[in-house]
Every structure is written in structure tokens, then in C-alpha cells.
Structure 1
Amino acid sequence: MVVKEELCCLGIDYNQVELGTVELAEPISQEQREQLNKNLLKSGLELMDDKKSILIERIKNSIIEIIHYSDEMPKENFSIHLSQKLGYDYTYLSNIFTEVKGLTIQQYIIIHKIEKVKELLLYDELNLSEIAYKLHYSSVAHLSSQFKKVTGVTPSFFKQLKLKRTTNLENL
């Protein structure tokens, strides 16, 4: 909503505004560009001109959308899904992502999957087997191994920490 409001305030015509991208109806002046960037920065957003940066944001947004906001993981591999969604060869996407971010797309996916596991553990509605299935892990052991590698603790220990914090808060 912020982006649309800023575009309207500055009298900039646009065709569409989607997560992370704006399709303008016509080119804008340098003054309008600078003012738009200044206004967006106040809201914690930034204008990107660099095609690589824009592509990186689209990759990140696609991964976050799938892991955190979708009820189901894609049936195909992330590589196929990203390639189809973004319209680029996965090797190209992977090389640019690694060059700019300093980590692979796979590492980025793992980090977000573990964040989702933490969230699901804290909600305490699913057991570890159900979480592993939901996030397409091959086994609970694989999930646990990856969780420990990223966080330094096992999923069950992480869950115990949550219980201890809750108990401590109740005793205050």
C-alpha cells in the first residue's frame, strides 16, 4: 500500500505493483525518481535500479513466500520452481545469488526452513514428524541434523528452552 500511495502522491502512473516490483506506465524524471526513493526510504523501502539486486530480491521473496506463507511446499524441487517462476535458468539464478549474497540459494532455503521449524515448534501444534513431512524433509533425522547444524541445538532442546522461558515468565 505504501508504494502505491507514494506513486499516487507524486503523480506517477503505474500499470501494476507486486511484491518487490513496480511496472511504470511511462518513464519518470530523475527528480521524481529521487523524490520517490526519498519517500520510500522513510518507510524502510528502497528503490533499486540494478537488475541483479532486483533479481536477488525476487529470488528471496519467492523463497520466503513458499516457506513462510504457503500452506504447501512446491511438488517440484526449489530449483525448478524458482526457474519457472522467475523465467531464468537455475544455474544463472544460483550464480548471481551466490555472487551477490555470499551464500548459495540452497543455504538461504535451509536458513528459512529452519526458521519455519522454530516457529512451528513454538506453536506446539505439530510434532517433529509432522513438521518434517510438511517441510518436505526426507526424515526426522535429516531435519534434526540440519536444525542442529544451523542453530547449534536439537529441535527437542530448542522446544525445552521455550518451555523454560514460559515457566520463568509465569513465575514472575
Structure 2
Amino acid sequence: MIIYIKYMVSLRCKLVVKEELKKLGLHYINVDLGTVEILEDITQKQKKELKKNLLKYGLELLDDRRNILIEKIKSVIIEMIHYSDELPKVNYSDYISEQLGYDYTYLSNIFSEVKGITIQQFIIIHKIERVKELLLYDELNLTEISYQLHYSSVSHLSNQFKKITGLTPSYYKKIKKMRRRNLEDL
């Protein structure tokens, strides 16, 4: 049986879900971002208890088909940008459509209708979050980051970064270093 969980976007979320399933005596086969495959059928009592326990951590069990599909779209994007070593070589629209087995226009319309932003805007937001992470790790320069995240140029990345954050990538990196230094002085 597969259950769907909203706001499950990190490894920490996976650990929380595994622990809550264990408390209820449920055995999982697979725990992924947004989905959990459990071995047995879940009773209404277990489902109610799981729902209550997950809410304490800001996670939500999903029952509605549209919300489940939205969470699947988000999971594919988050996995693609934050957890894979290399972004797909094909268009994101083709990749998402292929991963979920739905026409991209259909996915895009539902996503926009429910979330109030386009899939493309969601991708951009997550790419910028990934850029922030990579800037703070200080292992790659901006040219390498733009290449890794499939930006057409450093200029394109910088413009998008500034549009989303209000800061240039170099200024963002500088203030983070200053903040870290100030904390070390305490």
C-alpha cells in the first residue's frame, strides 16, 4: 500500500516518518520524498494516529488525488535539483512528464491552479536554493555552478538569483561569511 505525505522534502522528514511508522507497528518497504510504501494495509485507527503524529512535525497525510499529484511533481523537482548529481539533459517538462506518466500540460495546469505558481517558477526557486547551498559550500565557483545547474551563462544565473533574492550571488556569499565570522566572535 502506498501513502502520500505532504511537506516531506528532506532526509530528516524520512527519518521522522520511519519512526512514526515503527511506533504504529507498520512495516515499510520504501520511504521516499512524499511517498511511503508499506507492507500491510493501514487501518483507519492507524491512519488517524499517523496523521495526528505527523502533524506534530509539520507533515500531512494526503487523500485528495490532486494534492497527491502536486506532491509527486514537487518531489520529482526537489529530487532532481537537490539530490541528483546531474540534472537531466532533456527539458524539465519532458523529464517531469516522463517520471510521472502524465502529459506536461495537464500537470502544469493542475500545479498552477493549486499552488498559484507555475512549475517553472517552482523549479527556479529550488534552483536558486541549490545555488545558495553551493555558494556556501565554497567548493565550486559561479561558472561551475551555472554549468552544473544548466544555466545558459553566469549572467543568466546572476540575474535570476538577484530577481529571487534581491542580492547578487557574490554579495550573498560575502554576507554569509561575515555572519559566520560574527558568530565565531561570540
Same fold (TM over 0.5): yes
Deviation of the 1:7 alpha carbon: 4.3
Q: Kindly tell me: are residues 17 and 118 of structure 1, through their superposed partners in 2, closer, same or farther at Cα, counting changes over 3 Å? A: closer
Match of 1:47 among 48, 61, 67: 61
The aligned residue for residue 33 of structure 1 is 47
The aligned residue for residue 60 of structure 1 is 74
Determine what percentage of the aligned residue pairs are the same residue: 69
Separation of aligned partners in 2, 1:92 and 1:22: 24
Aligned: 1:127 with 2:115: no
Separation of aligned partners in 2, 1:43 and 1:170: 31
The aligned residue for residue 155 of structure 2 is 141
The aligned residue for residue 111 of structure 2 is 97
The aligned residue for residue 75 of structure 1 is 89
Deviation of the 1:29 alpha carbon: 4.2
Structure ranking higher on relative contact order (CA contacts 8 Å, 6+ apart): 2
Deviation of the 1:144 alpha carbon: 0.6
Deviation of the 1:30 alpha carbon: 3.2
Deviation of the 1:23 alpha carbon: 4.3
Q: Kindly tell me: are residues 11 and 119 of structure 1, through their superposed partners in 2, closer, same or farther at Cα, counting changes over 3 Å? A: closer
Separation of aligned partners in 2, 1:112 and 1:106: 10
Aligned: 1:150 with 2:164: yes
> TM-score, normalising length from structure 2?
0.80
Structure 2 spans left out of the alignment, 5+ residues = 1-14
CA shift digits 1:29-49 (9 cap, x unpaired):
433332232233234322110
> TM-score, normalising length from structure 1?
0.86
Q: Kindly tell me: are residues 51 and 155 of structure 1, through their superposed partners in 2, closer, same or farther at Cα, counting changes over 3 Å? A: same
Q: Kindly tell me: are residues 113 and 10 of structure 1, through their superposed partners in 2, closer, same or farther at Cα, counting changes over 3 Å? A: same
Q: Which has the larger radius of gyration?
A: 1
Aligned: 1:85 with 2:99: yes
The aligned residue for residue 112 of structure 1 is 126
How many residue pairs were aligned?
172
Q: Kindly tell me: are residues 113 and 16 of structure 1, through their superposed partners in 2, closer, same or farther at Cα, counting changes over 3 Å? A: closer
CA shift digits 1:111-170 (9 cap, x unpaired):
111111111111111111111001000000100110110011111111221232234334
Q: Kindly tell me: are residues 38 and 121 of structure 1, through their superposed partners in 2, closer, same or farther at Cα, counting changes over 3 Å? A: same
Separation of aligned partners in 1, 2:163 and 2:131: 13
Q: Matches of residues 2-21 of structure 1 in structure 2 within 5 Å?
A: 2-4=16-18, 6-7=20-21, 9-10=23-24, 16-21=30-35
In angstroms, what is the RMSD of aligned CA positions?
Answer: 2.3
